Chains A and B, each alone.
Chain A
Amino acid sequence: MTVADVAALMTTLHDDPDLRFLILSDLAGVDTGTTMQVVYHLWSDTTPDWLRVIAEGLPREDPRIPSVTFLWNGAEWAEREAYDMFGIIFEGNRDLRRIYMPPDYQSFPLRKDFLLADDAARSPGQGVRHMEQTFMPAESGAQPALRQGTGAGTTDALPMTTDALAASTPDTADASQRAPT
């Protein structure tokens, strides 16, 4: 399923009398390190069925996806949050502005390349991370250090096996010697 089909798919799931997934239970953005995903959870209000729809493969540079606000008004703020945290642009959302961060904030906090300062390793092998390295959506000049996982490459795009972590420890150790930008 491509990204462009999201609107049609949602409409079908919503309107089809057999399916009747009338409740959008959650709309989440996920950054898998390589690509972005938008995950919808749909509930039927009569049966205890639920469905998870993952729209994946959104490119990191310019993630765009049709909005579902035409079906559910309440998704507007959830999409705003996904935009604010990840930079995913929902086409068709009338009010796509930042909801948590100040309006002139330049980066997207929940992306995997938005790193927080950490004073100690949370688990073995992680090391100290840099201060906030922001990611400009439109410019692709500086390539900030991505969190490991680019080598995973499965379509499921769930990186971060522990082996991959252990293998790339020296990188972060080196990176931590540099002064934060």
Chain B
Amino acid sequence: MSAEPTTIRSLDDPTIMVETPATIYDAIPPYPARTEREAEFYALRDGEMLINLGPQHPSTHGVLRVVLRIDGERVVDLDPVLGYLHRGVEKICENGDWHHAISNCDPLEYIASMFSEAMPVLAAEKLLDLEVPRRADYIRVLCWELNRIASHALFVGWLALDLGGLTPILYGFAERDEIVEMLAALTGQRLLFNYLRIGGVNGDLNHDFMSRLGEWMSRALVRIEEQQKLLNQNEIFIRRTKGLGVVSADIARRTLLSGPVLRATGVPFDVRRAHPYSVYPELEFDIPVRSEGDSYARYLLHYDEIKQSIGIIDQVLAKMPDGPIMAKIPRLLRIPPGRAYVAIESPRGQYSCYGVSDGSDQPFRLRIHDPSFFNLQAVGMMMPGNLVADTMAIMASLDPIMGGVDK
């Protein structure tokens, strides 16, 4: 069945199914192991079994395939296989304009796409040394914080759904629906906003957006408190998340985690404070930190961050200056050659972009560093020793977005 040594039959090759008799179930790939880690992983010991938490699964957050090596119900090792959502965004960005890169990079973090849009925008602005008008900056921060709240609201829902509670995700969606409707009033889109532009934003705040925002803000804190009540003290929820998926601060640093996963381990690292950008230096907010490093700490940390974001929105609305929303840039944007590195804090962690320009209007290299990509490596550290039932809970508590992981 296995071919000659020179041709490797990929497991994704559809003809393999036809030729393989159904009684032979060969989970181990039909080619020799390519790396020592792969050899170590696929050498099954006595009583172990390979099970595929496949790309089609009600709970993997997007198309992620995780090959688990389990001994009974206990996970011994795991091997995430990525690439099912790989769209070649970086290559496509190289073939288009800097402006095209905005809508290309939108679906990288499709839940909170203002952050992924900001990547080519901020990189281009840094390369151009462009000064963005203050009003545009404030509007950007407002949209970023709204996106952060929308994304965190959904995180809680997913964590609960993977644990079996059917209700919190619908509360999260109710919350998110209001936010997304107000952003649709502002940008015209509910999910992939395509709102940030090189030099500013696309349109000014309008009456519909402000009225919806005001309505939402008047109830926001109260509703967040209410929604917390369902699960915070729930004995079953606590027993399933406490002490689960513990990461220590040291390991978190070495694994290059960022975002809520890192802050839940006790490291107070937030890109908004460590490498400030936009108008964050002028805003007052705390960085919520928890020290246990388990899923329950991550869950509580997300709620803390939502509250901080609501505070930031308050300040932004109070301080919003008047002025233009878009800087003057030429229609055909030729960016002088150079390299730029920009980083922002997305709901999942440090989102950064290394942009290289060659003087033409196309990006020469747009490298996007996505936090979910690095956070997902922690899964390999957290999962062994836990049960199969916890795999989903741990993965949900890391909040990966496969759009960014697979680019």
Contact = CB atoms under 8 A, between A and B. Distances in A.
A52 B367 contact: no
A159 B34 contact: no
B127 to A, nearest CB: 12
B376 to A, nearest CB: 8
A26 B352 contact: yes
A155 B350 CA distance: 32
Contacts of B12: 102
Interface string A3-45: 0000000000000000000111110111100000001010101
Interface residues of B, number: 59
Contact of A104 (B10, B274, B341, B354): B10
A103 B10 contact: yes
B255 A30 contact: no
Contact of B34 (A24, A29, A97, A161): A97
Interface string B64-102: 000000000000000000110010101110011100100
A125 B155 CA distance: 46
Nearest to A112: B94
Interface string B38-64: 100000000000000000000000000
A158 B336 CA distance: 11
A39 B354 contact: yes
Interface residues of A, number: 50
Nearest to A75: B256
Interface in B8-44: 8-12, 29, 31, 34-38
B276 A48 contact: yes
B37 A95 contact: yes
Contacts of A25: 341, 343, 350, 352, 369
A28 B354 contact: yes
A77 B7 CA distance: 25
A145 interface: no
Interface in B352-407: 352, 354, 356, 358-362, 364-365, 367, 369, 373-374, 376-377, 406-407
Nearest to A31: B365
A103 B29 CA distance: 10
Contacts of B331: none
B80 to A, nearest CB: 9
Contacts of A95: 35-38
B337 interface: yes
Contacts of A165: 360
Interface in A47-103: 48, 50, 52, 71-78, 81, 85, 94-103
B351 to A, nearest CB: 11
* Chain A binding surface SS class: loop
A175 interface: no
Contacts of B367: 26, 28-30, 39
Contact of B91 (A74, A81, A110): A110
B253 interface: yes
B345 to A, nearest CB: 12
30 contacts: A23-B253, A25-B343, A25-B350, A25-B352, A25-B369, A26-B341, A26-B352, A28-B365, A31-B365, A41-B352, A41-B354, A50-B275, A74-B255, A74-B256, A74-B257, A74-B377, A77-B376, A95-B35, A96-B34, A97-B38, A101-B83, A102-B10, A103-B11, A104-B8, A104-B10, A104-B31, A114-B91, A123-B362, A160-B359, A161-B337
Interface of A: 22-26, 28-31, 39, 41, 43, 45, 48, 50, 52, 71-78, 81, 85, 94-104, 109-110, 114, 116, 118, 122-123, 158-162, 165
Interface of B: 7-12, 29, 31, 34-38, 82-83, 86, 88, 90-92, 95-97, 100, 251, 253-257, 267, 269, 274-276, 334, 337, 339, 341, 343, 350, 352, 354, 356, 358-362, 364-365, 367, 369, 373-374, 376-377, 406-407
Given A25-B343, A31-B365, 15 more contacts: A25-B341, A28-B367, A39-B367, A41-B341, A48-B276, A50-B341, A72-B256, A81-B373, A95-B37, A97-B34, A100-B407, A116-B95, A158-B337, A158-B359, A159-B358
